[in-house]
Each structure stands twice: as C-alpha cells, then as structure tokens.
Structure 1
Amino acid sequence: MLPKTMRAWCARAYGGPEVLDLRELPLRPPGPGEVLMRVEATTVSSADRRIRALDVPRGMGPILRAVFGITRPRNPVLGAEFTGIVAAVGAGVARFREGDAVIGFPGARMGGHAEFARMPAKGRLVPRPASMPLEAAAALAFGGSTARHFLRRAGLRAGERVLVIGASGTVGSALVQLARLAGARVTGMTSAPNLALVAALGAEPRDYHAAPLPPSGEAWDVIADPAGALDWARAQALLAEGGRYLAINAGLGAMLARNRGGRRILAGPAEERLDDLEALAGLADTGAFRPLIDRILPFDALPEAHARADSGRKRGSVVVLGAPYLTA
C-alpha cells in the first residue's frame, strides 16, 4: 500500500543550498498513463544547481525565469534524473509493472529529489540493466544525453580530432567516452589532480594550468566546451577548416552568433530524448560507457550535494541515495 505522503526537498526561492527545505508533501496515486516510482538514487546535476541558484549564462535570466518561475522555481522539487522501483502504475500502462527497476530522466520537468517520482509511462523511462550499480544508473541520463545531443549535432566522424574542455565533469566525461566510441581522437583538458582519471576514460589528458589553452598551431575538428571556458572568437582560432565549436554552456550571444569562415558554432539547450536514454542504458550494460561518480551522499544530505555541485570541483556526478522506505 502506498503512503499518503512523501518527503521531498523543495526550493522555496532562488539562492544557495540554504533555500532547500525538507517537506512532507501529499502523495497521490498515478493517473492514467502514469508510473509512480520509489526513488532509490538521484543526482544533483548542473541543471539542478543552475535552476536552484538561477545561475544561468548571460542574457538567459529573463527567459529562464519565464520558463521555470519568476521569483522561485515553479516546480520546487528539483532532480533531473533518478533510478528507482515502480511502486504503482496508472490505468492503461502496459510498458511497466509494479516492482520493475527503472531509470528515469524527467529532465527540465524535474521531480527526482523526493521519496517518489511520477512520470508518463511513454516518457523518458527505461528498464534498469541488472548489471548497473545503483549510483551509475542514477547518473546515466543527464551527462550522457547532453553529450549525445551535441555530438549528434556536430556530425562527429571517426578519425576527427576532438578537444573536450572540462573533461572530468559530468558532461565532459560523457563526451570523452562517447567521442572515443565514435572513433574520434580525443584530448581532454582538466586540472592536474584529474589527469589520470581523464586518461583512464580514453583521452589524451592536458593540464589547464600548464597550458591554459592549446597552442594556436593545433587545429581541432570539434571543440566541446561544457565548462564555458571559451567564447566564439577564441574558439574560431583553434578550429580546423569545417570545425565545430560546441558551446554547451552558452549564453544568448552564443546562440545568436554567426558561423564564420567555414567554422560553425552549435549552441542552445540539449534535447531530452527517449532513444538517447535507451542507447546509453545499452552501452552501460555492456560496459562501454560508465557515468563518472564524484561521491555518494544520503538523502538527508542533499543540500550538501548542492554545495558540492556549486564548488566547481566535482569529478562527475554527485549521487544522492533515496530516503529509507518501509513498506509496512
């Protein structure tokens, strides 16, 4: 039997981790076509922390306030990705049944930072491979989906040279792995403590501080910049003819920028697609892709996870385990 309430972390305003409150919320059963899941683990992604803090690229503040809420998040329960167990299904749902282990990617709809999460059965929801550890399943969707979106837009080809700036982050580490799987030659820029980690992912590692930018004599077919380290003018000087700059953390100016001299800038929000989640789950099941985990924290320490995400020093995803749950 489902409980009548659930605990959830709610953002009462825009701001630091201190705006998060643990509240008791009503828990309604799933409606027609819906699936209700008990959350076993979630993450605090860059999307979560940016929405909580309204820390957005230049020019995007008014747009994102209109989308997510003027004075506070319209949906106070953040959480763009999670893994859990199906607790109940609504009428007409045949794809999942009670007890199924799943991976959910609500994305911009949020909702994963709670004891239970609800999603459409036809949404971005896939079976969790039995081979996947809980923390890896929780961290599969956001970084991997973002990386797949931008590499798809770039039309990456085998043998091309790819530079990933911020290669030890959630999105950066996914970019390194997926570009390598596509047959690209990948160089990953990171800080000195993370060089061995980036090398283990399959990239040639380079230290930010030893060489803040690659020498101008090098030319890259694709520069992926989840760190927001470059602007379009600087990126152009590093691109080969026909090169593509993936402005993943782009402001309004980058979205409006024009392509120059046969070189292209690709910016804008990443698509959130079911087929990407399915592909990532398949790759993870075979061991070809593994989400990078920074640390694992308990449910009651979720504000600490936000603080870690704010620090800019995390390596991969900060995973938060679901709240203890009793069926009685």
Structure 2
Amino acid sequence: MKAIVYTKYGPPEVLQLKEVEKPTPAENEILVKVKATTVSVADIRTRAFVVPREFWLPARIALGFRKPKKEILGMELAGVVESVGKAVKLFKKGDHVFAASLVGFGAYAEYKCLPEEGPVTLIPSNISYEEAAAIPIGARAALFHLRKANIESGQKVLIYGASGSVGGYAVQIAKHLGAKVTGVCSTTNTALVKSLGADKVIDYTKEDFSVKGESYDVIFDTVGKSSFSACMRSLKKDGTYINIAVVLPNVRMLWTKLTSSKKFILGQNSPETPEALEYLKELVETGKLKVVIDRYFQFEEIVEAHRYVEKGHKRGNVVIKFGAKQQS
C-alpha cells in the first residue's frame, strides 16, 4: 500500500510517498481503507519535533530519540471497513467509519488497523468522508475540555482562537451547552466565527478583549496565544481558565491557583473510547455541529499541506483526500 513516511524529524520535505506493507487486523481490530485524513497542528509539531523544553526528554522517549519510532503520521481518518478480526462484534465489512488514531498515528496511509473499542464509530449520515475525518481530534478536544469546565446554561464563555479547528468546534459546543459565547479571532475570520453561533466576536488585531470590562465564567485558549494576565483580569473570581496548549502549570498559574478561587484546566488527551465521537455524531446529524474545512489537498500533495498548516493561519481544518471526493 502507499503511505507517507518520515524517517527523520524536520521540515515538510522529510515526508515521502512510499510503498509499505499492508497491515493485517488483529483479532480485536478492524482494517479501514482510508478515504480521508487531515493535517493537524499535532502532526506538524510531531514531524518537526517542536515541543516545550520541559517535555523534550519524555517526548524523545515517546516519539524516538534519533529518528521517529512511528514513521507514518496522521491522527484522524475516515474510511470504509475492509475486513475485521475474528473477535470483532461492533463493526462489519463495508461500514463507513471515522476515528482518532492519536495513539498509534498511521492515518497517512491507504489502510489503517484500529481497535474496535477505541475512538472509532460510524460516520454521521449527512456528511462526507472528508468532513468526517476533520472531527475526531479538534472536536473531541473541545468537547472534553468544555465538559471538564462543567458549563451551565447562561454562563459567559470566551473562546480565544475561535476560527481554528478546536476553537471553531468549541464555539459550537459551548453554544449547544447553553453558554453565551464570545469568540476572539483575526479580522478575516470574524464572519466565520459569527456564523458558527458566537454571540459576540472580538477582532484581536483591533482590540484587547480584557479592556472591554466584560467578565467570563470560562476562558478557553485553544491556541496558547492569549495573555495570561489579560485572561485573569477578565475571568470571574470563581471562573475556569482552559489552555490546551499548556500541559503543566507555570509559576504564575500555580500562584494564582493558590491565592484565588479560580480553576485551571490544562491540555489533556481525550479518553480513547468511542463515546465522544458518538456524541459528536449525533450533534452533526441533528445540525448542531458543522465542520469547517479551509482547504483540501490530495494525498500526494501532503508536503504542500504541511507547509500551509505550518504557517499558522488555517481556518478550521485542512483535509487530505485519497482519490476523488466521495460521499459517506
């Protein structure tokens, strides 16, 4: 089968199209013929090995010291079940599925094996493979962290980076949970964020959200680019601050946590179960969640796709297509 392989860390050009052995599903696995995948920020960071200094050693241990342990990237996908292991009960050949492959990567290939009880489920009936492939990472991350904040109807939520993959989903999910949502983005994306349901949109290139006198129950930084001081000024005294770009609290966060009643939720991976995807599937099918796709690239154009995402200005998701676009 064809796959995009990288044998060393570096720029997009380290990605190469190669022929590799087609996988065979284990007893509890399904073999998926991949129809679409994505280029996420996580793919970019893994390929280039861009990690916070304090995580350099554990990241090297996990990903590989001298070269990548797992040579095929790709963390979300959609496709068709081609075959199943003899112990599989949840899926059958021909099922249309979408899945997160964050643990083992491997979606940049024509075929991928997945455990049947992992984060995989049937594609929403009203969207394409390409749209379905853009849900498993960004939408699950938004849902997971917003749930941890225990959002209640009527609460005020600010989403920083509201036009990105996680941010765009966070706007919609927070609205579904009953929040009054303010999105922060650049000038070119204000109309998009408004169309996703934001009650207010602030253009960060023109104004600082923290000087408007508004206070919020939850501030969710989806890109790690907001000012911590600004967020603390605008967060209610018992509010919740979410930052998925930070895994460990810094000194200022620890001090604020010790000296106030504000709560902190930092970046964590969603549980590797199908529950979140099944919930998101229902939201999509009932019209409460839509997928934003910035650009499509063909499988053979993945280097160009990585270059584009690496610039840091994508709107929503960037999707990689295997062959002609097909409907689920």
Output the amino acid matched with 2:292: L
**Matched residues in 2 for 1:130 and 1:161: separation?**
32
Residue range with higher mean Cα deviation, 187-196 or 132-141: 132-141
Assess if the C-alpha contact under 8 Å between 1:78 and 1:112 holds in 2. Answer: yes
Alpha-carbon deviation of 1:251? 4.9
Alpha-carbon deviation of 1:255? 9.6
Alpha-carbon deviation of 1:56? 2.2
User: What secondary structure is seen at the aligned counterpart in 2 of 1:108?
Assistant: coil
Alpha-carbon deviation of 1:60? 2.1
Say if 2:213 is the partner of 1:217.
yes
Say if 2:37 is the partner of 1:42.
yes
Provide the TM-score with structure 1 as the length reference: 0.93
User: Which of 252, 255, 261 in structure 1 is aligned with 2:248?
Assistant: 252
Are the structure 2 counterparts of residues 256 and 53 from structure 1 closer, same or farther at C-alpha, using a change threshold of 3 Å?
farther
Structure 2 residues not aligned, in runs of 5+: none
Find the counterpart in structure 2 of residue 300 from structure 1. Answer: 300
Structure 1 residues not aligned, in runs of 5+: 1-5
Output the amino acid matched with 1:265: F
Say if 2:117 is the partner of 1:122.
yes
CA distances 1:100-141 after superposition (whole Å, capped 9, x unpaired): 111111123211110011111111110112211222111011
Find the counterpart in structure 1 of residue 269 from structure 2. Answer: 270
User: What secondary structure is seen at the aligned counterpart in 2 of 1:237?
Assistant: helix
**Matched residues in 2 for 1:168 and 1:129: separation?**
23
Provide the TM-score with structure 2 as the length reference: 0.93
Assess if the C-alpha contact under 8 Å between 2:63 and 2:70 holds in 1. Answer: yes
Are the structure 2 counterparts of residues 28 and 261 from structure 1 closer, same or farther at C-alpha, using a change threshold of 3 Å?
closer
Q: 4+ residue runs of structure 1 moved beyond 6 angstroms? A: none
Assess if the C-alpha contact under 8 Å between 2:164 and 2:316 holds in 1. Answer: yes
User: What secondary structure is seen at the aligned counterpart in 2 of 1:222?
Assistant: strand
Alpha-carbon deviation of 1:256? 9.4
CA distances 1:197-237 after superposition (whole Å, capped 9, x unpaired): 00000111111111144316221111110121235444222
Alpha-carbon deviation of 1:73? 2.4
CA distances 1:268-317 after superposition (whole Å, capped 9, x unpaired): 32223421111011111111111211111111001111111111110011
Find the counterpart in structure 2 of residue 175 from structure 1. Answer: 170
- Paired residues in the alignment total 319
CA distances 1:55-112 after superposition (whole Å, capped 9, x unpaired): 2234222222222222332111111110000111111112111111111111232111
Two-structure CA RMSD over aligned residues (Å): 1.7
User: Which of 160, 166, 172 in structure 1 is aligned with 2:161?
Assistant: 166
Are the structure 2 counterparts of residues 317 and 255 from structure 1 closer, same or farther at C-alpha, using a change threshold of 3 Å?
farther
Assess if the C-alpha contact under 8 Å between 1:254 and 1:267 holds in 2. Answer: no
CA distances 1:236-271 after superposition (whole Å, capped 9, x unpaired): 222111111101101534499421411112113222
Find the counterpart in structure 2 of residue 75 from structure 1. Answer: 70
Residue range with higher mean Cα deviation, 262-271 or 139-148: 262-271
Find the counterpart in structure 2 of residue 314 from structure 1. Answer: 314
**Matched residues in 1 for 2:206 and 2:250: separation?**
28
